Structure 1
Amino acid sequence: MEAIILAGGFGTRLQGVVKDVPKPMADVNGRPFLEYVLDDLIQAGFKHAVLSVGYKHEIIMNHFGSKYKDLDISYAIEEEPLGTGGAIRFALKIIKSDYFFVLNGDTLFRINYQEMIHPEPIVMALKYLNQNDRYGQVTFKNGYVSSFIEKGSASKEGYINGGIYRFHRAFLESLMLPKKFSLEKDVLEKHVFLKPIKGVSFDAYFIDMGIPEDYQKLKEDLLYE
């Protein structure tokens, strides 16, 4: 199995506590956060990961090189921000498989990846939250996502996009989109009107370390790993 990890973010909201490194390299109990993400992939049987990098990418490349434990590492280096969709399509040239996974490099969602293997061109991991003020919401029924609800207009509890996807490469290659585009706005929210997106709900540990409070919680949660 192969994965693209989006690891090019600036981490603007974390700059008060995480400085001078890309957000995925934020220190979590003496280790860069990205190591936890890669360890989960190794445990799940992945053999190759493409790190989509941009901001201060040399720090990531110098730390991991071309191999991390049993995982082969490649890099797709953005010379300019391409958006989430553009970054995936740019990294796709390094992926060899017909199907592949995409993850966010600032989120830890400990799913069973085997449960994501379905024939649909887009499969999305979902998480049910009782308090989801920070996130938009998805409507999910009978195994499929049928709509996306903007952050702020959603109810306080419900399913959210967990930020892990499985894509069919032919589907992404067929999209007629500019060099820079958003996966969420330009692909997911538009495709769902053409055909519902396969969703898989996981009752698994989930945290997005995008704000200082959750970054601190993450360090406490992973203290003994």
Structure 2
Amino acid sequence: MSLHSAVILAGGLGTRLRSAVPDLPKPMAPIAGRPFLEYQLDYWLAQGIDHFILSVGYRHEVIIAHFGNRYRDARLDYVIETSPLGTGGGVLLALDRLDADQPFLLLNGDTYFSVDLAQLDQFAQASDSDWCFSLFRTTETSRYLGMGVTPSGRISELKSSQDGAECLANGGVYRVRPHALRGLLSQDRKSFEPGIAASLENDIFPSAFAAGQRMFGMEFKGSFIDIGIPGDYHRAATILNV
């Protein structure tokens, strides 16, 4: 297994969840008395991740005060957004904390997806991918980024469509080569740099796709929950079996 580090995007404002969790950043939303982020950390710790870089912003002091620099056997580092940077800006901010030559796991701080890390890593290595996406089937295609996928698993299309037709969609768990992100920073035609706001789905992914980076996806059928809206947040305890 070549993956030991993960970046967790935990800096969002969480405006859609405010009615249910008014005073906390989304990853700290309580599920059966524990922060959602603890369930995430537990899951990936059990699969061999021992270094987490938390990209934090809104109410970041709550996250840092709760976890500190260690959680169980894992080291925790933080990068702090002084203004909202979006999902793309959040990962760019963390780049300098990563080994330049080692792939890393990228996670959404408000999503739990029970992906088999060994399978994801093996597929990414076999396909020589720069970006390897964990995909799930959904009909909520206006909420999640749908993806066209060839029989070999190569991403052929990034697409949004109306709800109703089932498709494979981005599940918010990625295996990424750092040089793929750094390659985008050096492109004159698209300006990305740490400290500048950007969206993964609207900016980073389309630019990587247009640049011909190797983007592959693998379907997983494990438990999936995105706590970004109150209805799904209230279902989370059932999905997490707590």
Coarse TM-score class (shorter-chain normalised): over 0.9
The residue aligned with 2:220 is 202
Is structure 2 residue 233 aligned with structure 1 residue 215? yes
Residues 7 and 106 of structure 1 are in contact (CA less than 8 Å); yes or no, is this contact kept in structure 2? Answer: yes
Which of the numbers 100, 108, 113 marks the counterpart of 1:109?
113
- Pairs within 5 Å for 1:4-19: 4-19=7-22
SS at 1:79's partner residue? coil
Which of the numbers 57, 66, 73 marks the counterpart of 2:60?
57
Which of the numbers 31, 34, 42 marks the counterpart of 2:34?
31
SS at 1:175's partner residue? helix
Of stretches 125-134 and 77-86 in structure 1, the one that deviates more from structure 2 is 125-134
C-alpha deviations, 1:161-194, integer Å up to 9, x for none? 0011111111211213232222212221233243
For 1:135 and 1:183, locate their aligned partners in 2 and report how far apart those are by CA, in whole Å: 12
Per the normalisation by structure 1, the TM-score is: 0.93
Tell me how far 1:26 sits from its aligned partner.
Answer: 0.3
Of stretches 125-134 and 104-113 in structure 1, the one that deviates more from structure 2 is 125-134
C-alpha deviations, 1:194-222, integer Å up to 9, x for none? 35511111011111111111111112333
The residue aligned with 1:136 is 145
Tell me how far 1:112 sits from its aligned partner.
Answer: 0.6
Residues 127 and 160 of structure 1 are in contact (CA less than 8 Å); yes or no, is this contact kept in structure 2? Answer: yes
Residues 12 and 86 of structure 2 are in contact (CA less than 8 Å); yes or no, is this contact kept in structure 1? Answer: no
Amino acid at match of 1:116: L
For 2:179 and 2:209, locate their aligned partners in 1 and report how far apart those are by CA, in whole Å: 17
Residues 22 and 168 (structure 1), Cα distance of their counterparts in 2 relative to 1, 3 Å cut? same
Tell me how far 1:19 sits from its aligned partner.
Answer: 1.3
Could you tell me the percent identity over the aligned residues? 39
C-alpha deviations, 1:91-133, integer Å up to 9, x for none? 1111225211100000000101112222311111101125545
Amino acid at match of 1:200: M
SS at 2:44's partner residue? helix
Amino acid at match of 1:173: R
SS at 1:44's partner residue? coil
Per the normalisation by structure 2, the TM-score is: 0.86
Residues 124 and 166 of structure 1 are in contact (CA less than 8 Å); yes or no, is this contact kept in structure 2? Answer: yes
Query: Gapped runs of 5+ residues in structure 1?
Result: none
Residues 42 and 71 of structure 1 are in contact (CA less than 8 Å); yes or no, is this contact kept in structure 2? Answer: yes
Tell me how far 1:80 sits from its aligned partner.
Answer: 1.1
Amino acid at match of 2:143: R
- Pairs within 5 Å for 1:38-49: 38-49=41-52
Is structure 2 residue 72 aligned with structure 1 residue 69? yes
Residues 100 and 168 of structure 1 are in contact (CA less than 8 Å); yes or no, is this contact kept in structure 2? Answer: yes
The residue aligned with 1:147 is 157
The residue aligned with 1:175 is 184
Amino acid at match of 2:200: L
Amino acid at match of 1:202: F
For 2:161 and 2:41, locate their aligned partners in 1 and report how far apart those are by CA, in whole Å: 29
Tell me how far 1:18 sits from its aligned partner.
Answer: 0.4
Query: Gapped runs of 5+ residues in structure 2?
Result: 186-190
SS at 1:10's partner residue? coil
SS at 2:46's partner residue? helix
Residues 62 and 151 (structure 1), Cα distance of their counterparts in 2 relative to 1, 3 Å cut? farther
SS at 1:62's partner residue? helix
